[in-house]
């Protein structure tokens, strides 16, 4: 099918115009690294300076901001994460929240000696786990994975046991886009008495999530990819309700304390997921995310997912037709049910190809070894853009080969 | 002297117009909790959405954002902190950076068993220290302080010794505005072999700082008070150059790793103060701060301090004349050389007074016990505003008494 017909048949096509720069000639295949801003966010931010910040000033904390990490968290839970209210808080970076969540999990499983993770997990996840393991006297138990796929439930079953404190995995793999079988892996980990921490950075806003239904314990994710929160936007943490009375994290700050404005002599963690907060929450940084959640409420995450599958399937079809003859492989699952919102194309020359494409305003990203990532943010990407980008890859490959 | 004459003689008076809402009738005595936005920040944020974020997209990281925590940090160091380049990084919340700095300090003094701090330190500082002490097996050594003043060098000298790993204090006390004698305290701590961590939240942007000259080891501060960064704006950390090769912090993230985009198998901390970063830095959140640093570069911190002393001295003079007869005390140092940018006025009815004032758009804040804080952000506050606010306090006291 030609891209014009696909765009004409796309029920979400018109949403593309809501994003800044959608009318430009740029081919943007990196919305899975940094999403485009919504045009509405320009007014949101300017209005915030002139209004709530500039006029309400300190009163804004009582009126709205103090609860913002939890109200935005509840919206995220409802629209994106499959989480009932009271389990999600927004704040800190993904890395800091991974640290808090891992420390909390390890403390909740005293005597257990291992953290299970895979070698293809995102670097910051591996680095945090390495640090937490070292400081808490645990060992990392590594799973090797097929780089074009990801961790399977069988692989997890082979390594978990009564020594396992925590299994920490990415729900969608950052290179291959493999979707882990979260319900099965969670059951396996729980059967061994371990907790599970999901990194949702590459799925939140593109793949529907069902944290409550999975029985997940903990989850963390970023908001600057498919949630269009802007560079370095705050992350979120999910803590299942059944753990909220017992899990505690080590960065004891006033915003996670019972009655923070009492400013009492000792720290007592407050009730609920707020105890995973530490310092003053980044109000400004949450506003673009809130705009995107408003849009997702309008569109619905399943419609986003449907378009995402359409875009990635089309990208793979084009790659098979036009790039496979040049030696390009598809290092992402071909089964759309196991594939997230991006597609990785491999070729030994991809580093040079990506550098050449950037010079022409075609913007994928490069991930070792030899992977060109085609990130297809569903609401801001058209089928025509996919075709244009794949043609550019072909041309660049011709030129660098 | 009447306030009109004081405003007429104020060389910085015209800068007030640069801030949103300065033309309103609001009396804002809480710029030491949340500073007013600069009007320029409205355009900065809207322009960022349309420009760097919306047009440059992921390329912004290479072009500017990756280094932003350090370039803004260097500007902070030069204009505010008295720190040579390469020692300051911006990111995370104050609480998270306090955690990192305390953990780094304690790890650098193995075998030492105590953290020294005072009971009037800001709650989040005390909470973090409590958590770090517990997890690292140390004891907190508390200093009791005069609530209308603060920690003295003699008090520190009495408690530090070869058991002291770290002395952690606020440079300006959040209730009394007492300015600690940082050079003397630092010398005393160093003579005992301890490290010193300063919380600069209540001084940065109002009291000139000389971290390098003091010989400080570590410092942390927030940017939403006198640095007008907006609610929940990112904090900063200073690590003295001599410690940059050895101090490490426990939240091992990709943005503090050597060559983060190599995404290698193991974490190696990068050189320099960047190793105190963990996750993706909050780009949007740094922009209002950068606007304020541009203004401070124009004005100069010493001129800001001169006006600050003028404002707090005037507030105390008025309180002595108009409020002392009603039983109001001044719980801040009378020596301007020992007083930061705010003044605390005490009376048993101050909780009710503050509540009544808020109803009339006069906005101080309340701090137990019985303290009304008059925060006087130098560039956005006029002498007329001080007079108007003190009159309102007198009237409210008359009404609630």
* B191: contact with A, CB 8 A cutoff: no
Contact A113, A140 (CB under 8 A): no
Q: Output the 3-class SS for A166-199.
A: EEEEECECCCCCEECCHHHHHHHHHHCCCEEEEE
Cβ contacts of B109-113, under 8 Å, gap ≥ 24: B109/B165, B109/B166, B109/B193, B109/B194, B109/B195, B112/B138, B112/B162, B112/B163, B112/B164, B112/B165, B112/B193, B112/B194, B113/B137, B113/B138, B113/B139, B113/B163, B113/B165
* Paired tokens of A184: 């099965």
Q: pLDDT digits over A206-264, tens only?
A: 999 999 999 999 999 999 999 999 999 999 999 999 999 999 999 999 999 998 777 77
Contact B311, B381 (CB under 8 A): yes
Looking up tokens 């970063």 gives: B277
Q: B44-57 burial, b if ≥16 CB within 10 A, otherwise e?
A: bbbbbbbebbbbbb
State whether B283 and B306 are in the same domain. Answer: no
Distance from CA of B100 to the nearest CA of A (A): 9
Note whether residue B332 is domain-resident.
Answer: yes
Q: Give the model's confidence band at A401: pLDDT under 50 very low, under 70 low, under 90 confident, else very high.
A: confident
Q: How far apart are CA B43 and CA B49, in angstroms?
A: 10
Q: pLDDT digits over A179-198, tens only?
A: 999 999 999 999 999 999 99
CA distances from B399 to B304, B330, B366, B392 (A): 35, 21, 18, 11
Note whether residue B105 is domain-resident.
Answer: yes
The one catalytic residue in A66, A122, A174, A314 is: A122
State whether A254 and A388 are in the same domain. Answer: no
* Paired tokens of B269: 């901390």
Q: pLDDT digits over B272-305, tens only?
A: 999 999 999 999 999 999 999 999 999 999 999 9
Q: Which residues contact B62 (CB under 8 A, 6 or more apart)?
A: none
Of residues A126, A125, A118, the one with CA closest to residue A144: A118
Q: pLDDT digits over A317-371, tens only?
A: 999 999 999 999 999 999 999 999 999 999 999 999 999 999 999 999 999 889 9
Q: Give the model's confidence band at A20: pLDDT under 50 very low, under 70 low, under 90 confident, else very high.
A: very high
Judge whether residue A144 has pLDDT over 90. Answer: yes
Which candidate from B45, B222, B250 shows the least CB-CB separation from A46? B45
**DSSP class per residue in B197-262:** EEE-TTTTTTS---HHHHT--EEEE-SSSTT---TT---EEEE-GGGTTT---S---GGGBSSGGG
- The CATH number for B162's domain is 3.40.640.10
| Confidence (pLDDT) at A66 | 96
State whether B305 and B381 are in the same domain. Answer: yes
* Paired tokens of B258: 């050597």
State whether A34 and A81 are in the same domain. Answer: no
- SS3 label, residue A287: helix
CA distances from A295 to A75, A90, A380 (A): 12, 18, 12
Distance from CA of A258 to the nearest CA of B (A): 12
Distance from CA of B281 to the nearest CA of A (A): 5
Strand partners, B221: B236
A225 is catalytic: yes
Q: Give the model's confidence band at B196: pLDDT under 50 very low, under 70 low, under 90 confident, else very high.
A: very high
Helix axes B68-76, B283-299, angle to 10 degrees: 30
| Torsion (CA) A33, A39, A41, A43 in degrees, nearest 10 | 160
* A371: contact with B, CB 8 A cutoff: no
| Confidence (pLDDT) at B261 | 76
Q: How far apart are CA A366 and CA B261, in angstroms?
A: 10
Mean pLDDT (chain B) is 96
Contact residues on chain B for A224, CB-CB shorter than 8 A:
280
Q: Other CB atoms closer than 10 Å to residue B135's CB: what's the count?
A: 17
Q: How far apart are CA B233 and CA B289, in angstroms?
A: 8
Which candidate from B34, B58, B131 shows the least CB-CB separation from A33? B58
A274 is catalytic: no
* B51: contact with A, CB 8 A cutoff: no
Q: Tell me whether residue A321 is exposed, middle or buried, using C-beta atoms within 10 angstroms of its C-beta: 0 to 12, 13 to 18, 19 or more.
A: exposed
Judge whether residue B36 has pLDDT over 90. Answer: yes
Q: pLDDT digits over A27-81, tens only?
A: 999 999 999 999 999 999 999 999 999 999 999 999 999 999 999 999 999 999 9
Residues of chain A with pLDDT > 90, as a percent, come to: 96
State whether A285 and A331 are in the same domain. Answer: no
- SS3 label, residue A241: helix
| Domain termination residue (choose one: A273, A297, A321) | A297
Total domain count for chain B? 2
Contact B55 A280 (CB under 8 A): no
Q: Tell me whether residue B265 is exposed, middle or buried, using C-beta atoms within 10 angstroms of its C-beta: 0 to 12, 13 to 18, 19 or more.
A: exposed
Q: Which residues contact B67 (CB under 8 A, 6 or more apart)?
A: none
A373 is catalytic: yes
| Domain termination residue (choose one: B297, B331, B356) | B297
Q: How far apart are CA B209 and CA B302, in angstroms?
A: 10
Cα three-residue angle A66-B229-A232, rounded to 5 degrees: 80
Number of H helices, E strands in chain A: 13, 13
| Domain termination residue (choose one: B297, B319, B334) | B297
* Paired tokens of B229: 């960064």
Peptide bond into B10 cis (omega under 30): no
State whether B257 and B348 are in the same domain. Answer: no
Judge whether residue B43 has pLDDT over 90. Answer: yes
Q: Give contacts of B 62-121 with A, CB under 8 A.
A: 65, 91-96, 99, 119
Note whether residue B86 is domain-resident.
Answer: yes
State whether B275 and B392 are in the same domain. Answer: no
What ipTM goes with this model? 0.97
Q: Other CB atoms closer than 10 Å to residue B34's CB: what's the count?
A: 30
Average pLDDT of span A372-399: 97
- SS3 label, residue A25: coil
* B232: contact with A, CB 8 A cutoff: yes
Phi, psi of B147 (to 5 degrees): -65, -20
- SS3 label, residue B57: coil
Judge whether residue A1 has pLDDT over 80. Answer: no
Judge whether residue A290 has pLDDT over 90. Answer: yes
Contact A36, A42 (CB under 8 A): no
**What is the domain extent for residue A220?**
44-297
| Confidence (pLDDT) at B264 | 76
Note whether residue B284 is domain-resident.
Answer: yes
Of residues B135, B193, B186, B131, the one with CA closest to residue B156: B186
- The CATH number for A335's domain is 3.90.1150.10
| Confidence (pLDDT) at B23 | 87
Q: How far apart are CA A272 and CA A247, in angstroms?
A: 10
Q: pLDDT digits over B314-365, tens only?
A: 999 999 999 999 999 999 999 999 999 999 999 999 999 999 999 999 999 9
Q: How far apart are CA A108 and CA A103, in angstroms?
A: 9
State whether B175 and B308 are in the same domain. Answer: no
Contact A93 B119 (CB under 8 A): no
State whether A34 and A131 are in the same domain. Answer: no
Q: Other CB atoms closer than 10 Å to residue B162's CB: what's the count?
A: 11
Q: pLDDT digits over A88-142, tens only?
A: 999 999 999 999 999 999 999 999 999 999 999 999 999 999 999 999 999 999 9
**DSSP class per residue in B321-375:** IIIGGGT-EE-S-SSGGGB-SEEEEE-TTHHHHHHHHHHTTEE-EEETTTEEEEE
Note whether residue B347 is domain-resident.
Answer: yes
H or E element, residue A345: strand A342-346
Q: A382-392 burial, b if ≥16 CB within 10 A, otherwise e?
A: bbebbbebbeb
* B369: contact with A, CB 8 A cutoff: no
Strand partners, B114: B139, B164
State whether A363 and A389 are in the same domain. Answer: yes
Judge whether residue B401 has pLDDT over 90. Answer: no
Contact B368 A263 (CB under 8 A): yes
State whether B256 and B176 are in the same domain. Answer: yes
State whether A86 and A174 are in the same domain. Answer: yes
Q: How far apart are CA A138 and CA B42, in angstroms?
A: 48
């Amino acid at each position: 099918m030609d891209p014009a017909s696909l765009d004409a048949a796309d029920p979400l096509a018109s949403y593309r115009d809501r994003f800044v720069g959608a009318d430009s000639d740029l081919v943007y295949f990196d919305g899975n690294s940094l999403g485009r801003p919504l045009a509405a966010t320009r007014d949101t931010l300017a209005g915030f300076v002139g209004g709530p910040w500039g006029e309400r000033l300190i009163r804004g904390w009582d009126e709205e901001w103090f609860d913002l990490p939890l109200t935005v968290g509840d919206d995220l839970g409802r629209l994106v994460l499959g989480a009932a209210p009271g389990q999600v808080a927004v704040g800190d970076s993904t890395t800091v929240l991974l640290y808090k969540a891992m420390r909390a999990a390890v403390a909740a499983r005293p005597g257990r000696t291992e953290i299970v993770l895979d070698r293809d997990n995102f670097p910051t996840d591996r680095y945090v786990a390495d640090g937490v393991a070292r400081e808490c006297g645990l060992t990392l138990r590594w799973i090797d994975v097929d780089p074009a796929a990801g961790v399977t439930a069988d692989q997890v079953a082979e390594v978990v046991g009564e020594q396992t404190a925590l299994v920490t995995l990415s729900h969608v793999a950052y290179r291959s886009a493999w979707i882990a079988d979260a319900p099965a892996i969670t059951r396996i980990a729980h059967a061994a008495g371990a907790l599970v921490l999901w990194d949702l950075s590459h799925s939140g806003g593109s793949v529907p999530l069902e944290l409550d239904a999975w029985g997940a314990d903990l989850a963390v994710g970023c908001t600057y990819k498919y949630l269009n929160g802007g560079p370095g936007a705050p992350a979120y943490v999910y803590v299942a309700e059944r753990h909220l009375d017992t899990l505690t994290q080590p960065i004891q700050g006033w915003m996670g304390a019972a009655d923070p404005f009492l400013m009492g002599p000792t720290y007592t963690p407050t009730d609920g997921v707020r105890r995973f907060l530490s310092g003053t929450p980044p109000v400004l940084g949450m506003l673009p995310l809130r705009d995107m959640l408003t849009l997702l409420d309008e569109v619905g995450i399943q419609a986003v997912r449907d378009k995402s599958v359409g875009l990635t399937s089309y990208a793979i079809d084009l790659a098979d037709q036009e790039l496979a003859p040049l030696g390009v492989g598809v290092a992402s699952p071909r089964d759309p049910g196991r594939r997230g919102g991006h597609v990785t194309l491999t070729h030994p020359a991809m580093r040079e190809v990506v550098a050449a494409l950037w010079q022409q305003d075609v913007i994928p990203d490069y991930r070792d070894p030899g992977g060109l990532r085609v990130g297809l943010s569903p609401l801001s990407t058209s089928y025509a853009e996919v075709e244009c980008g794949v043609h550019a890859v072909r041309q660049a490959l011709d030129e660098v080969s």
